[in-house]
Every structure is written in structure tokens, then in C-alpha cells.
Amino acid sequence: MNSSLLLGVAIAIAIGCASILLPYFSDRNQGLNEGCSLLPHRHFWLYSKRVLTPGGIMPAAVEINGGHIVSIVHQNKAPKQTKGAHVIDYGNAVIMPGLVDVHVHLNEPGRVEWEGFVTGTKAAAAGGFTTLIDMPLNSVPTTTSKEAFDMKVDAAKGRLFVDVGFWGGLVPENAFNNTAIDELLQAGALGLKSFMCPSGINDFGQTNASHIKEALRILAKYQRPLLVHAEIPQPSEDEKTKIDISERRMYSTYLRTRPPSWEEEAIKILIAVSKDTHFDGSKDGAHIHIAHLSDSSVSLDLIKEAKESGARLSVETCPHYLVFSAEEISDGDTRFKCAPPIRDVLNRERLWKALKDGHIDMLSSDHSPSSPELKLLEVGDFLRAWGGISSLQFGLPVTWSYGQQHGLQLDQLSELWSQRPAKLAGQHKKGTIVTGNDADIVVWDPENDIQIGENYTIYHKHPITPYTGKHLFGSVIATFVRGNMVYENGSHASTACGVPILAV
Ligand SMILES: NC(=O)NC(NC(N)=O)C(=O)[O-]
Ligand SMILES: [Zn+2]
Ligand SMILES: [Zn+2]
């Protein structure tokens, strides 16, 4: 056989093989990026007896194609597996919207020794979170300009296992610079975040009522929210006296340094500046969101009242305020240090009531880890240790386990973790299982028990967390982000195909 004949035969064989294999590959792989999903299908059905839809929990098959939910069929049996239709029957597991966390400090670029896009989003996927919104501080530079914003988005590309949006930072330096704020919002910041007390980060200074008012005027144009760390330092007796280390090790000392009056003062001001955000007001379209509420007494009453009178105000609380109490924090155990602080049992129980009664709008993790050294665990100095709790991966089992004891239903939990946070972040295609939405889904077993400890893989950069040892209910089976199975039973997809979410 001469060489051209040989080539001809080889081509014919190749074409023959391709025509046999092509339908198989096109059915399985069309539209899929290599490695994004642990599942080699773009068109498939997820079935279970408990699918959480806006209409309730029911047996249903959720059809996913090209990253979207294309149909939801209520039926008591899983659809039949055929050549063109891949079906995963999850039996009695719960299929519900992926969780959306509007308050996460991923700290990249710049402080990757604290956390990072890869570790943070892997933890998120393992915990059933499909969208995170990153805070503008702790990264270097802080996200307070368009340049810094673009750097953050660049640093995130190709390194996200779930989708991540970004809040921009409102600081005294940019608050009166309308062009700078406009640029930050036009670059894609989903809203702004500011502190009313020192943030612990030098280039992220605290804002006052004038800064906030000015920012709200611009945010109103874009219909994007301002998130606020609502604590204003109040003069205290302690400042005059020197507190020695034995006292600094006591949790009660820390608690005394940040009383509820700090939250109250900040919230009063926020309510006052939110006055014109009502329909047709001069700041119509602006919205204030109070981050990590801890005080469930006067602060909460003020919020309730303001909401009743029509203020555009929302509020989140975090799992650590709902699970732990000041009474149980051992002296020196700075893993529990966060701001505002975890308060007493009574405060905690009132937070649960407010959550159930709908006065608290949503949950967020405020996952804010640091390198272990900064927690000063050996000296146990509560006043000098870094404030922030590491918790992202545990949000679902923690709030479900404790929520059940407080009578919280699964659909309420999902509203608090998915629907409302997605809305705050302007993500209307996320947060609910409805036709047309992104196929952002968590499949989990609420009855399966887990223990945070040796046999439980923590994907955060550092395993240090006050949740160690907790015995909880709820294990994540699989997490889907826009139809990509990004996590399943201890394994992540090989490629990070989460995308940066930019406001348009
Ligand atoms: N710089 C921070 O990350 N601070 C955070 N720290 C906490 N919550 O203790 C926060 O959200 O305030
Ligand atoms: Zn804060
Ligand atoms: Zn925070």
C-alpha cells in the first residue's frame, strides 16, 4: 500500500469512529467546559421526594439544561433514565436552592494567608453555598476604588468553585468623591459596605452619617444597597484604667468593652438617614442593610419600628450569635472573638424569636478568618486578638440543627439563606428553584449526623473554629452551580468554573 492510500484508509477509519462516538460525546458533553463538573452532562434531571420550591416541599424532578432550570415536574417517581436523559434519583434527600452568603471575607488579593478564593470557595461548595458576596476589606488593597475592584476581579478569575460577587468599600476618602463611587459601582460592585467603628484595617476607616448620606444618594441611582457594620464606640470607664492580662483573658471583659449601646447608637443613625429612602423620597431606591446584628433588645426594637414605618432597611444575623452564648465561652478562647460580640443566652433566644417572626431578614456567615497567630490563642488576650469567626462551611448544618430546636422550618431556612440574600445582592436568577433560574442547587441529607472534628474535612484555609466538636445534623451530598456539579461527597470538580458576578 502506498503512503497516500494508507493516509486515505486512516482518515476513513477516523471519520467512521468519530461518527459512531460523536452522538455519545455531543449528548454528554455539549456545552460543558472540561473539568467544571463532576457530572458529564449538560442536560439532566435531579429527582427527590423533597424538592423545595416556592410552592412548598414536594416530590419533583428538576430538569436542568445548559446551566438553567428548564422545568420542574411534580411526580411521585423518578423519571426513567433514557439514552438522552440522565437522571439522578436522590431518594429522600432534600433538593433546595444553593445558599447565598452576602457576608464573607475572602481576603484576596493580599491576605491569602488568612483565606483565599480557592480555599474559601471550596469550603462554600462543600457547605452547599453556590454564591458568595465578598467584603471589601482585609484584602490588599481594600476594594475602595475601581482599580482595586478590577484587581480583585482579576485575582478571582479561574480560582472560584462557586460564583462570587463583590461589595465595594465606602470610606471617608471616597465618600465625597462622586466620580470614584460612580466608577466603583460601574465596575460592577453589587453595593457598598462601610464601618461605623474602627475596622481593624488601617486603610478602611470608619464612616459617619454624612459619608453615609452622600453614598446613599448615589446608590439610589443604581438601586444597590449599603451594608453597614453598625457599632459606634461609646465612651466607657474602662478606657481610663489599665486592664491587665488576666482580665484581658476573660470573655466578660471583652463583652463589657462592646456593649449593646454601640449597636443601638449606630442603628439610630442609620434609621435617621434611611428616612428619605421611601418611595418618591429624595433617596428612593437606596437601601440600608445592617450587617451581623447581635443585640436583640433595643437595637432590634428600633429596627422593627423603622421597618413598620416603611424604611428601606434590612438586617442579617449570623450563626454564631444563634448558637453560642457568652456564658459558655471559656476565658482565653479567642476563637469566639468577633464584633459585635456574642452576648448572653437571653439575647440569643430573642434573636431566634425575631428570626422566626420575620424581623430578621436573612442569615450570613461573616466568615472572617485570620492566620492562627493573630487569634493569640496561647495568651488568650481577648482585647488584642483578631476579631472574626471562621465558619463558612458549617452554616447549613449549624442553622438547621439549632433551627429545628427552635421550630424553624426548612422553607424558612431556605428563605433566610437563599431567597432573601440573593435579592439583596440583586441576583434575581438565583436563590429559588423556579424555571428559568440558574441551576444553583444543594442536595443534602438533613437527618444525617456529622461531627465537626477529625473525620470531617474542613476546606477553609485554617481549621481553627469555635464549631470544633459540634455534633450536628445535615450533610451535603452534592452542590450544583449553574448546572455544574462542583462538589459531591468529599470531591470537588477539577476545574474552578465559578464566575465573578458583576453588577450591570
Ligand atoms: N475586618 C473584619 O473582617 N472584621 C469583621 N470582624 C468581625 N466580625 O469580628 C467584621 O465583619 O466586622
Ligand atoms: Zn463587621
Ligand atoms: Zn464581616
Each residue of 389-441: pLDDT tens digit?
999 999 999 999 999 999 999 999 999 999 999 999 999 999 999 999 999 99
Q: How far is the CA of 321 from the centre of ligand 2 (A)?
A: 13
Which residue, 210, 207, 227, 214, is CA-closest to 178?
214
**Contact in structure between 283 and 217 (CB atoms under 8 Å):** yes
Q: What pLDDT, on a 0 to 100 scale, did the predictor assign at position 285?
A: 80
Q: State yes or no: cis peptide before 421, omega within 30 of 0.
A: no
pLDDT of 11 > 50? The answer is no
Among 14-23, 133-142, 319-328, 402-411, the range scoring the smallest mean pLDDT is 14-23
Q: What pLDDT, on a 0 to 100 scale, did the predictor assign at position 20?
A: 38
**Contact in structure between 211 and 172 (CB atoms under 8 Å):** yes
Q: pLDDT-based confidence at 238, cuts 50/70/90?
A: low
Tell which one of 368, 370, 386, 391 to mutate to probe ligand 1, the residue whose CB is within 8 A of the most ligand atoms.
Answer: 368
pLDDT of 466 > 50? The answer is yes
Q: What pLDDT, on a 0 to 100 scale, did the predictor assign at position 427?
A: 98
**Contact in structure between 105 and 462 (CB atoms under 8 Å):** no
pLDDT tens digits along 313-340:
999 999 999 999 999 999 999 999 999 9
Taking residues 437-454, what's their average pLDDT? 97
Taking the C-alpha atoms of residue 299 and residue 283, their distance in angstroms, rounded to an integer, is 23
Task: Choose between 16 and 493: higher pLDDT.
Answer: 493
Side chain identity at 239, as an amino acid letter?
A: E
Q: Is the beta carbon of 102 within 6 A of some atom in ligand 1?
A: no
Taking residues 440-458, what's their average pLDDT? 97
Q: What is the DSSP string of 135-176?
A: -SSSSSS-S-SHHHHHHHHHHHTT--SSEEEEPEEP-HHHHT
Q: What pLDDT, on a 0 to 100 scale, did the predictor assign at position 32?
A: 66
Domain spans of the chain?
100-434
Question: Which ligand 1 atom is the nearest neighbour of the CA of 199?
Answer: 1
Taking the C-alpha atoms of residue 465 and residue 391, their distance in angstroms, rounded to an integer, is 7
Taking residues 249-266, what's their average pLDDT? 97
| Alpha-carbon distances, residue 481 vs 56, 81, 125, 168, 223 (angstroms) | 22, 23, 9, 24, 26
Q: ipTM score of the complex?
A: 0.97
Q: What pLDDT, on a 0 to 100 scale, did the predictor assign at position 12?
A: 42
Give me the helices (H) in 288-430, please: 298-308, 319-323, 345-356, 395-405, 410-414, 420-424
Q: How far is the CA of 195 from the centre of ligand 2 (A)?
A: 7
Q: In 221-244, which positions are buried (b, 16+ CB within 10 angstroms) versus exposed (e)?
A: ebebbbbbbbbbbeeeeeeeeebe
**Contact in structure between 503 and 426 (CB atoms under 8 Å):** yes
Which residue, 188, 191, 211, is CA-closest to 103?
191
The residue written with cell numbers 482599580 in the block is 147
Q: State yes or no: cis peptide before 109, omega within 30 of 0.
A: yes
Ligand 1, atom 7, residue with closest C-alpha? 388
Task: Choose between 292 and 311: higher pLDDT.
Answer: 292
100-434 placed in CATH 3.90.25.10? no
Taking the C-alpha atoms of residue 128 and residue 99, their distance in angstroms, rounded to an integer, is 6
Residues ≥6 apart with Cβ < 8 Å to 27: 41, 43, 83, 84
| Alpha-carbon distances, residue 124 vs 13, 120, 260, 396 (angstroms) | 47, 6, 31, 10
What cell numbers appear for 482 in the block? Answer: 449553574
pLDDT tens digits along 161-192:
999 999 999 999 999 999 999 999 999 999 99
DSSP 497: -
Q: pTM, whole model, 2 decimals?
A: 0.93
Taking the C-alpha atoms of residue 128 and residue 467, their distance in angstroms, rounded to an integer, is 17
Q: What pLDDT, on a 0 to 100 scale, did the predictor assign at position 179?
A: 98
What cell numbers appear for 289 in the block? Answer: 442593610
pLDDT of 24 > 70? The answer is no
Cα torsion 304, 305, 307, 308: sign:
positive
Percent of the chain with pLDDT over 90: 87
Taking the C-alpha atoms of residue 150 and residue 290, their distance in angstroms, rounded to an integer, is 26
Q: How far is the CA of 386 from the centre of ligand 3 (A)?
A: 12
pLDDT tens digits along 47-104:
999 999 999 999 999 999 999 999 999 999 999 998 888 999 999 999 999 999 999 9
Q: How far is the CA of 23 from the centre of ligand 2 (A)?
A: 53
| Gyration radius of the chain over CA positions | 24
Percent of the chain with pLDDT over 70: 92
Q: What pLDDT, on a 0 to 100 scale, did the predictor assign at position 241?
A: 74
**Contact in structure between 486 and 498 (CB atoms under 8 Å):** yes
Q: How far is the CA of 204 from the centre of ligand 3 (A)?
A: 13
Residues facing 87 on adjacent strands:
45
Q: Is the beta carbon of 138 within 6 A of some atom in ligand 1?
A: yes
Task: Please give the mean pLDDT across all residues of the chain.
Answer: 93
Q: What pLDDT, on a 0 to 100 scale, did the predictor assign at position 230?
A: 98
Minimum-distance ligand to the CA of 341? Answer: 1
**Contact in structure between 390 and 465 (CB atoms under 8 Å):** yes
What cell numbers appear for 50 in the block? Answer: 423533597
Tell which one of 105, 114, 390 to mutate to probe ligand 1, the residue whose CB is within 8 A of the most ligand atoms.
Answer: 105
**Contact in structure between 316 and 354 (CB atoms under 8 Å):** no
Taking the C-alpha atoms of residue 375 and residue 358, their distance in angstroms, rounded to an integer, is 34
Q: What pLDDT, on a 0 to 100 scale, did the predictor assign at position 22?
A: 36
Taking residues 463-476, what's their average pLDDT? 98
The residue written with cell numbers 449528548 in the block is 27
Task: Choose between 156 and 455: higher pLDDT.
Answer: 156
Q: pLDDT-based confidence at 8, cuts 50/70/90?
A: very low
Task: Choose between 498 and 26: higher pLDDT.
Answer: 498
Taking residues 341-361, what's their average pLDDT? 98
Q: Is the beta carbon of 387 within 6 A of some atom in ligand 1?
A: yes
**Contact in structure between 137 and 389 (CB atoms under 8 Å):** no
